[in-house]
Amino acid sequence: SVLSQNASAERARNILAVETSPTDLVGEQAASQPAPVQASAINFSLKQWSTEIKNSMSSLRKGSNENRKSVFYTTEEWELLDPTPKDLEDSVALEEKRKHLAEGNKGRRLTSSAFPFDFGRVPHKARRPLKDMIAASKNRNSSDSSPTEWCSGNGNRLVSELQLKYQSQQEELEKLKKDLLSQKELVRLLQQTVRSSQYDKYFASHLCEGVPKDTLELLHQKDDQILGLNNQLEKLNLEKDSLQQEIKNLKCKVGELNERLGMLMETIQAKDEVIMKLSRQLSECEDSTSSQSGAINSPMATCSKELQELDRLKDNLQGYKTQNKFLNKEILELSTLRRNAEAREREWQAKYTSLEAKLCQIESKYLILLQEVKTPVCSEDQSPAREVITQLLEDALKAEPSEQPEQAIFKPHLVSEYDIYGFQTVPEDDDEEKLVAKSRALDLRSLSLSENREISTGVKWENYLASTMNREMMRCVELKNLIRSGIPHEHRSKMWKWCVNLHVKKFKDSAVPGYFQILLQKALEKPNPASKQIELDLLRTLPNNKHYSSPTSEGIQKLRNVLLAFSWRNPDIGYCQGLNRLVAIALLYLEQEDAFWCLVTIVEVFMPRDYYTKTLLGSQVDQRVFKDLLSEKLPRLHAHFEQYKVDYTLITFNWFLVVFVDSVVSDILFKIWDSFLYEGPKVIFRFALALFKYKEEEILKLQDSMSIFKYLRYFTRTILDARKLTAIAFGDLNPFPLRQIRNRRACHLEKVRLELTELEAIREDFLRERETCAEKRDLISDDEEDS
C-alpha cells in the first residue's frame, strides 16, 4: 500500500541520515592512520607525544568548526527524486553491510596499532581523543613498572596539561551535542516537509488529471507566492521577537542603570555625611587646640585678639554708616520723584478738566446751532444760525494761545505746511478746505501718537537690517510681514531699490553698461513724438508737492529725463498719462536711473500687456476682474451699487492706472507702494477692496445714485488709519490667490478684445459713411449753385 511504502522510505531516510566527515582536513589523515609498530615503549619520545596531540587537536578543531556539516549535506549537487520501495530496501541493505564492514575495519585498526588509543574519526560515531589519550597514558604507566629518569618531572606537567585539554574538550563536546540536537530537529522538520510534499504530489497527480496546463502553472505560482509570504511572515515574526527581546534587555539595562544611579547617589550622600562629620570633628579639634593654646599664651596674646576684634567692629560700623547715608539719599530722591509725579498728575487732571469744559462749550454751541437751523429764515436776513456758524469757524481756524511751553512744541507739527514727503497739508485758498485739512492733520497726529505707544516697527526693521548686514537679503515671510507693516522713512530708499532690482535683474543683466544714459542721450539729441505731451504734463503731475510745483523745482528735470528715456525704450507705449505720476512718486526716494527701472518694473513686469497703450486694454480688463472680486468679497455693497446703477469703475480706473496716487493720504499711499513693489499688482486689488470695505456701512446708508457717486469721489481722503486698512487688506479679505486673478484676466481679455474689435469696425463704418455723405453734400451744393 501507499502508507507502507512511505513508511519504508522514511525508515531508509533515517538510516541514511548519518553525518559523514570529509577527508580533506589538515592533519586528519595523519591522525586517522594507524601508528607504526614500536618495539617497546622506550622508543616513544616526547616529540611523538606532541605530534599525536597536535594531530588530535587539529582533527577535533577542524572537525568541530570548519568541516562539521549537517546530516543532510553532500559534496555533490543532488536532486530529490521519488524512489521506488524496492530501491529503498536495497539502499537499506547496502547501508547495513557498510556499517558491519566499518566495525570490522575499526577492530582491525585498533589491534594493529602500537598504542592503545587512536585519533582516527569514525564517520558515524563521535571520537573522544583526550579520554583515549589519558587512558593510553594510564595503560602505559601501568604496563611500565619501572619509571624512567626523564618522565619523573615532565609526567606531572603533562598530566596537568592533559587535564586542562580534557576539560576544554568536554565543553566542546557539549556544544557538539547541542548542535547535533538542533541538526536532528532540522532533519526531522525537513523530513516532514518532504513527506508532506510527497503526499501533495501523490494526491495532486490524481486531482490534477484533466486540468489545463495553464491552470496548473497558475496554481504553482500561487503556491510559490504563499510559500514566499509564509517565509516573509516567519522572518517578520523572528524580527519582532528579537526586537521584543532587545526591548526587554534595554529595560533591564535601564533598571540596572537606575539601581546603579541610586547606589551612587546613596554613596555620595554617605560620603557627604562623612565629610560633614569630619569637618565638625576638625573644627572641634581646632577649637580645642586654640583654647588650649590660649590658656598657655600670655596675656599679651589675649589683648591683641581683642584689639583685632575691636578693629573689625569699627570697620563694620563705618560700613553701616555709609550704607545708611546712601539709603537716606535714595529715600529723599524717591520722595522727590513721588512729589513730582503727584504734581504732574494734578496738572494733567486740571488739563483734562479744562478740555472737558471746552468740549461741553462746543457741544452746547453745536446744539444751539442745530436748534437754530430747524427754524426756517429768509436768506436776506442775518439769522442767528449764520452768526453761530461764523463763530464756530473762527474758533476752529484760530490757533490756541500757548499757555504752556509744551503746547509750543507740538503746534508747528499740527499746522505744518508740508509733510515729510513734500505734499501740502493745508490748501492755500478755500477756508472750508483749510478746515478739513486741519482736521485731517489733527487726526493723523493723533494716530501717530497712538502708534508710538505700541511696539515700534522701526526697532524690528533695525534688527532685521542688522542681521542682513553681512549677507544678501532674500525673499521670506518675515520680510514680507515687515514690508506690509510699512517701511520706515529712513529705510524706504534702500528697500525700494532692492525690490526694483529683484524684479528687473534679468533686464539689467542683458542691458549694456550705461543703458539709461544711452537712452537719455538719444532722447535729447533726436526729436520724439512723445516729448511734447511729456512737457505738457510735467507741471500737472503733482502740483501739491513742493518737488514738482514749479518749473524750477528739482524734481521736474529728473521727471523729464526718466519719461524721455522710457519713451525710447518702449516705443509701443511711448508716453501715456499716468506714467508721469508713477515716476514722480518713485523719484521721491530713488535716483533717476533707479526710478527708470522702477517704471520698467511696473509697466513691463507687473502690469499685463497693453495696460498703458492707446486702447488701455489691460486696464479695462482689470476693472472687470475687480467687479467680479467685489461681488465675491463684498456682496452687499455690490448689490447696493447695482440697485442704484452706480458705475464705480469710473473712480477705481484711476486707482489702478496710477496705483492710488492722488487718491489716498500720503502715509497710506507709501505703505501701499511698499507692498506693491515687493508683491506685485495683486496688492492693488487688495487695497481697492479694503477701501470699500472700510467705508462699507457709510456707503450703504446712502440711498440715491448722486450722493453715492459724490461720496465715492472723496471718501478715500477721509481714511486715515493705515493700520486698520492694512489689516483689512491682508487679513479680512483672505484667501486671495493670484491664480484666480490671472484666470479671470484671461477670461475677460477675450471679451474686451472682441468688444474693441466691434467698436473699431463701427468707427470705420461711421468714418466711411461720413466721407460718403460729405461728397454727396458737396455735389448737391454744386447743383444748387448751377441752378
Q: Which long-range contacts (CB under 8 A, 24 or more apart) does 512-519 make?
A: 516/565, 516/592, 516/593, 516/596, 516/597, 519/564, 519/565, 519/566, 519/568, 519/569
What residues form DSSP beta bridges with 545?
423
pLDDT of residue 458: 81
For the segment 30-56, the average pLDDT, to the nearest whole number, is 50
The answer to whether the CB of 566 falls within 8 A of the CB of 596 is yes
pLDDT, residue 636, reads: 96
The residue among 557 and 38 whose pLDDT is bigger is 557
Q: Find, among 417, 447, 410, the residue nearest to 434 by Cα.
A: 417
pLDDT of residue 14: 56
Residue 141 has pLDDT above 50, yes or no: no
584, HSE (Cβ side, Cα atoms, 13 Å): 31
pLDDT in tens, 68-83: 444 444 444 444 445 5
Burial class (CB in 10 A: 0-12, 13-18, 19+), 755: exposed
- Give residue-wise pLDDT tens across range 596-607: 999 999 999 999
Residue 153 has what pLDDT?
57
3-state secondary structure of 113: coil
Residue 549 is placed in which grid cell? Answer: 510745483
Residue 649 has pLDDT above 80, yes or no: yes
Partners of 423 in beta bridges: 545
CB 17 within 8 A of CB 69: no
What average pLDDT does range 349-366 have in this prediction?
79
The DSSP annotation for 25-90 comes to: -TTHHHHHSPPPP-S-GGG--HHHHHHHHHHHHHHHHHHHHTS---TT--SS--------HHHHHH
If residue 665 lies in a helix (H) or strand (E), which one and from where to where? none
pLDDT in tens, 464-519: 998 888 888 999 999 999 999 999 999 999 999 999 999 999 999 999 999 999 99
Q: 3-state DSSP call for residue 424?
A: strand
CB 573 within 8 A of CB 603: yes
Phi, psi of 775 (to 5 degrees): -65, -40
729 or 155, which is more confident: 729
Q: How many CB atoms lie within 10 A of CB 659?
A: 24
Return the SS3 of 574: coil
pLDDT at 11 over 50: yes
| Residue partners of 616: CB distance under 8 A and separation at least 6 | 610, 657
pLDDT at 693 over 50: yes
Q: What string of DSSP letters covers 253-271?
A: HHHHHHHHHHHHHHHHHHH
Give the residue with greater pLDDT, 383 vs 644: 644
**pLDDT-based confidence at residue 527 (cuts at 50, 70, 90):** confident
Q: pTM for the whole thing?
A: 0.50
- pLDDT at 108 exceeding the cut of 70: no
Q: Which amino acid is at 681?
A: P
Cβ 737 vs Cβ 675: under 8 Å: no
C-alpha–C-alpha distance, residues 86 and 280, integer Å = 99
Window from 11-20, 491-500, 569-578, 695-704 with minimum mean pLDDT: 11-20
Contact 579, 599 (CB under 8 A): yes
Q: What is the DSSP letter of 732?
A: I
Cell numbers found for residue 492: 524706504
Q: Which residue has the higher pLDDT, 288 or 549?
A: 549
Task: Tell which residue, 152, 155, 153, 122, has the closest CA to residue 137.
Answer: 155
Q: What are 204-237's pLDDT values in tens digits? A: 676 667 778 888 888 888 988 998 899 899 999 9
Q: Worst-scoring range by mean pLDDT, 91-100, 519-528, 681-690, 746-755? A: 91-100
